[in-house]
Structure 1
Amino acid sequence: FVICFLATTAAGATITTVNSHYTAAEVSRQLHDSEASVVMYHPNTAAAVLGATQMLPPGTVKHMISTHEAINSSDLSLSTLAADDGLAYPKNLQVDVASDVSVLPYSSGTTGAPKGVMLTNRSIVANLQQLSHPDLIFNNPFGVDITFAVIPLFHIYGMVTCLFLTLTTGSKCITFTKFDPHLYIKCLLKYKPTVLHTVPPILHFLVQTPQVQREVMASVQTIGSGAAPVGEALAQQVRSKFGDNIQFQEGYGMTELSPVSHVAPIGQFVAGSCGKLVPNTTCKLVHLETGDVLAPGDGEGELCIKGPQVMKGYFNNPEATASTIDDEGWLHTGDVARVNEDGNCFIVDRIKELIKVKGFQVAPAELEDVLRECPGVADAAVIGVPDSKAGEVPRAYIVKDTSNHSVTAEELQKFMAERVAAHKQLVGGVVFVEVIPKAMTGKILRKDLRDLAEL
């Protein structure tokens, strides 16, 4: 992956990374939308890739390159390309680092169809320089940092924060094709990482697995999480089991930001906060109803970002670009946030996920936090469902605790009635499910829940 990625960008071409778990139809849609003409694939993904190319008009994909042995006789292999005389490599390559698109990752699509995000060499390098600031990097006094990157490299977090940042800082990066519990524990003991880039579900695994004792995590100095908040309770559980010396470093970003705008400086972890602005970046909070710009400590508003890491726009989608980046260059994240006087940013919810009950805005994340405190609840997700009188009302999807299956919808309703305002009650009902649909990063896929509810 790394060789293919860097070679493509070095040749002046644009690379679009594809989720390795995609079906043939999903791969086909991205190939078509991105106008890709060359496909590099791993044999494990060959079935989906070949199926995808067959769905496209003939001649759309001009070359197929396998990272290992070629599946079809007409395909090339990476080893064959690496063994040539290099004459095909472009001479005097002219690349405009500010405007030429280097990487075209696709946004998650949790609030709409996936869109190609145009990132330039400059936007990515700018973000790497921002993240390399001394206040944000843990310097191992005993040698080179060893980073564990279990985040998929096709994901913007894995690509930039895990892979490219370790290369930028001269660290060693240990990558995984997927999270395998046994292998992960084995590698913790073998490689003794100092930095873990991870997500909350893996931290829960480490805390709850008896064979992961303190000595397994003895080398770990910093744990980074940027895909979903760790939370104070989980952070305390990790420190209680593995040592108070572990530093947590949360961040905030999105594909459209190359991807980071906020990171907690080393030693300044604040539970619930995604950190402070990275260098050479500004933000503002815009009141959702009045449009006024809010001062720190003055309430919640939409988080807007301006900086060199902001994307060029959405590929072949000027309408979506215009609705995301305004005329003054502010990128509207769609996230509701608050910022305290110390500059710590707290993400409250997403604008499109807010439930409007009789004109009152209800944040699903707030109700989910309360529901998870109820005995017998292992996990929870809340969405808004249509209501003839209120417009929308909250509905909860609940995963029962395996050790306590006795919790009922009535008990949950009573539990909530004692803890939240009337307009926040679960008027839309309670639905028990086996699992809450989530992205690889741990984010709740509310779109899937809406599909389940046939909304």
Structure 2
Amino acid sequence: MSEKESLVEIKNKYVTSTLSLNLDGSVYTLIDEKLKMTEDKHVLIDCLSNKSWTAKELRIAIIKVGVYLIEIGVKKGDVVAAYCPNSDLQAIFFFATVAIGGIYTGCSHLAPFPEINKIIQETKAAYLLGCKQNLDICEQLLKNQKSLKKMFIVDGESNANFASVLSIINEKHVGDISNFFLISSTITGEDSAQIVFSSGTTASPKAILLSHRNIYADFGETSPEFNMISEDDTVACYLPFSHVVGSCVLSLALYGCAKAVIMNSDSGMYKDFQCYKVTSAYIVPAVIDYFNKQEAEKFSLKKVCSIGDWLPEKVGTEFVQKFKPIYFSQLYGASETGVVTMHSFNNGVSDLKSNGVPVFDCTYKIVNKQTGEALGANEVGEILVKSPQVCKGYLNNPELTSQCFDDEGFYKTGDAGYYDERGNLYFAGRYSSLLKYYGLFISPDEIEEILLKHEAVQEVAVVGIDAGVYGQMPKAFVCLCEKFRGKITEKELFDFVNAQIEYTKTVEEIEILETLPKTSIGKIDRKKLQNIIREHHKTYNSVEV
């Protein structure tokens, strides 16, 4: 039996990891134990300020903020909403909040007022963490949202309206530390830690409730079997901490005794990767594609996980050939499920097609979406997942929560996929994104894959045009590589794709855009593309075929 096969057991059409993590406690207590083991090591650095923290300094700062939060009345179950860029101070505030049983939520500091306003309303947030850039909006929220009790700021001084996080950390007098440790010791893996909102790129965003266990169940990625993060690594933390990947990568880095490098939208990401010699990163396909256009010199990145969206094989291949990482994996997961599959470390860069094998304590199955019957190897169906990473459910929505789990407790992802004889999972698209036209299903992913084979195409997204009673026809939005801009027409791309696909699956229209809209974490925003279609198209009364 090979090493890879030993990580997986396939029995009765269930694909199960043979590895078990056996962790208990809270996110804070598990990370605090690691910080105590590496007190003199620099474990956190903020790119914008260039401030570096040793493990000991970070522990003290988290404790100080935690003590302060307890003193002003923050209690278990209270929600803190973040509306500020990633920073060392926000990281400290996150860990202090969850340490005492608070629940962290929020959105990107670049999000408009309606988004943060809705988040506070839905979560009934009691505390707000803001920044000077959004100060007017924060003060408006504090005035109008009845649930909000107090505001904190990550980059300013305290005043009558808000407290400065830096001032709290710099305060020489510390309150009752023993009470902080007493309260933090009572927080368990089943307690709520974070509310994250799905990206809403294909549907309305949903409030996802995550427990401490949901977050630290991903810590197996620091194990020798996967080794995405080790104590010698420098890890990029660029996704918002209010997003599950942002908070998980930050937590993974500290649990793995590595150095976490905190980046935000105000810093040049590629320059930061070079300057701080980042060796490990979880990055979206758009960032991987961007890196492919940069120089390979002074680039230390050796371990890469592609996350958040489907990675075109040619983009992954180009990255591997150019930067020569020792490990490259396109993992499969979601905000609701955490990481489901990724490649073992021994797999290196040998497989850019599959999404790897199930991680610690994870089982998945592929089922017929209509009957629920479990399918065998190489049969396409819906991916269902059961693991400690799977979320507690949707906030204040027990009906939706119940609908998303089957009778065996498996979460229904809504994704199509299949597995091979070795337990490798292959993502085949979202059922919700499949288009139905004249009674036939059309896969946007299949059209996208064909268009990406054209040398001029940098990015592509296919969405549906309303064709009335006939269903939906696919329209492709394309972004061209810089050297081909102005030299390739929509008709040339139209002919290219239709020469490689049967007419029943053909693309109706192709539109070239300068850039494709992205979400705050770098995923292509298909809802915005749908809005473009609605602005330019009316429902078809008749369709020529």
TM-score, L = length of structure 1: 0.88
Structure 2 distance, partners of 1:179, 1:264, is: 32
| Distance apart, 1:418 and its partner CA | 1.4
AA at the equivalent of 1:131: E
| Distance apart, 1:179 and its partner CA | 6.7
Query: Percent same amino acid among aligned pairs?
Result: 26
Task: Determine the structure 2 residue equivalent to 1:191.
Answer: 276
* Structure 2 residue 482 is matched with structure 1 residue 373: no
User: Which deviations, in whole Å up to 9, do the C-alpha atoms of 1:123-168 show, x marking residues without a partner?
Assistant: 222222x32332111577xx722222333333211210x2111111
Cα pair 1:25 1:52 within 8 Å, conserved: no
Cα pair 1:46 1:71 within 8 Å, conserved: no
Structure 2 distance, partners of 1:246, 1:91, is: 41
Cα pair 1:37 1:61 within 8 Å, conserved: yes
| Distance apart, 1:408 and its partner CA | 3.2
Task: Determine the structure 1 residue equivalent to 2:227.
Answer: 137
| Distance apart, 1:393 and its partner CA | 1.5
Task: Determine the structure 2 residue equivalent to 1:163.
Answer: 250
Cα pair 2:284 2:523 within 8 Å, conserved: no
Cα pair 1:41 1:67 within 8 Å, conserved: yes
* Structure 2 residue 112 is matched with structure 1 residue 23: yes
User: Which deviations, in whole Å up to 9, do the C-alpha atoms of 1:392-426 show, x marking residues without a partner?
Assistant: 21122223444332433433332222111122112
Aligned pair partner of 2:160 in 57, 73, 84: 73
More deviation, 374-383/413-422:
374-383
* Structure 2 residue 95 is matched with structure 1 residue 10: no
More deviation, 317-326/72-81:
72-81
| Distance apart, 1:221 and its partner CA | 2.3
Task: Determine the structure 2 residue equivalent to 1:234.
Answer: 315
AA at the equivalent of 2:502: A
Residues 351 and 189 of structure 1, relative CA distance in 2, 3 Å threshold? closer
AA at the equivalent of 2:344: P
Residues 375 and 147 of structure 1, relative CA distance in 2, 3 Å threshold? closer
AA at the equivalent of 2:399: E
Structure 2 distance, partners of 1:238, 1:419, is: 26
- SS of 1:347's equivalent? strand
Aligned pair partner of 1:43 in 132, 135, 150: 132
Residues 99 and 397 of structure 1, relative CA distance in 2, 3 Å threshold? same
Structure 2 distance, partners of 1:382, 1:232, is: 17
Cα pair 2:222 2:229 within 8 Å, conserved: no
Task: Determine the structure 1 residue equivalent to 2:288.
Answer: 203
Residues 118 and 52 of structure 1, relative CA distance in 2, 3 Å threshold? same
Structure 2 distance, partners of 1:71, 1:86, is: 18
User: Which deviations, in whole Å up to 9, do the C-alpha atoms of 1:178-202 show, x marking residues without a partner?
Assistant: 2744x633x4444323223322333
Structure 2 distance, partners of 1:332, 1:139, is: 29
User: Which deviations, in whole Å up to 9, do the C-alpha atoms of 1:353-391 show, x marking residues without a partner?
Assistant: 111122222111110111223354333211122224532
* Structure 2 residue 511 is matched with structure 1 residue 420: no
Instruction: Please list every run of 5 or more consecutive structure 1 residues that lacks an aligned counterpart in the other structure.
Output: none
| Distance apart, 1:62 and its partner CA | 0.6
Residues 7 and 403 of structure 1, relative CA distance in 2, 3 Å threshold? same
Aligned pair partner of 1:153 in 229, 237, 241: 241
- SS of 1:261's equivalent? strand
Cα pair 1:149 1:175 within 8 Å, conserved: yes
Task: Determine the structure 1 residue equivalent to 2:491.
Answer: 410
Aligned pair partner of 1:283 in 364, 373, 383: 364
| Distance apart, 1:282 and its partner CA | 0.4
Structure 1 distance, partners of 2:468, 2:283, is: 43
Structure 1 distance, partners of 2:520, 2:336, is: 18
Task: Determine the structure 2 residue equivalent to 1:220.
Answer: 301
* Structure 2 residue 436 is matched with structure 1 residue 356: yes
- SS of 2:365's equivalent? strand
Cα pair 2:199 2:205 within 8 Å, conserved: yes
Structure 2 distance, partners of 1:55, 1:370, is: 50
Cα pair 2:229 2:258 within 8 Å, conserved: no
AA at the equivalent of 1:340: D
Structure 2 distance, partners of 1:90, 1:115, is: 32
Cα pair 2:386 2:411 within 8 Å, conserved: yes
- SS of 1:105's equivalent? strand
Cα pair 1:249 1:266 within 8 Å, conserved: no
RMSD in angstroms over aligned alpha carbons? Answer: 2.5
User: Which deviations, in whole Å up to 9, do the C-alpha atoms of 1:253-297 show, x marking residues without a partner?
Assistant: 11112x211111113241122211002110011123343211122
- SS of 1:220's equivalent? coil
Cα pair 1:199 1:228 within 8 Å, conserved: yes
Residues 79 and 413 of structure 1, relative CA distance in 2, 3 Å threshold? closer
Residues 169 and 254 of structure 1, relative CA distance in 2, 3 Å threshold? same
Q: Give the number of the structure with larger relative contact order, counting CA–CA contacts within 8 Å between residues 6 or more apart.
A: 2
Aligned pair partner of 1:174 in 261, 266, 284: 261
TM-score, L = length of structure 2: 0.75
Residues 326 and 46 of structure 1, relative CA distance in 2, 3 Å threshold? farther
| Distance apart, 1:349 and its partner CA | 0.8
Residues 277 and 426 of structure 1, relative CA distance in 2, 3 Å threshold? same
Task: Determine the structure 2 residue equivalent to 1:34.
Answer: 123
Cα pair 1:381 1:396 within 8 Å, conserved: yes
- SS of 1:208's equivalent? coil
AA at the equivalent of 1:163: L
| Distance apart, 1:248 and its partner CA | 0.7
| Distance apart, 1:170 and its partner CA | 0.7
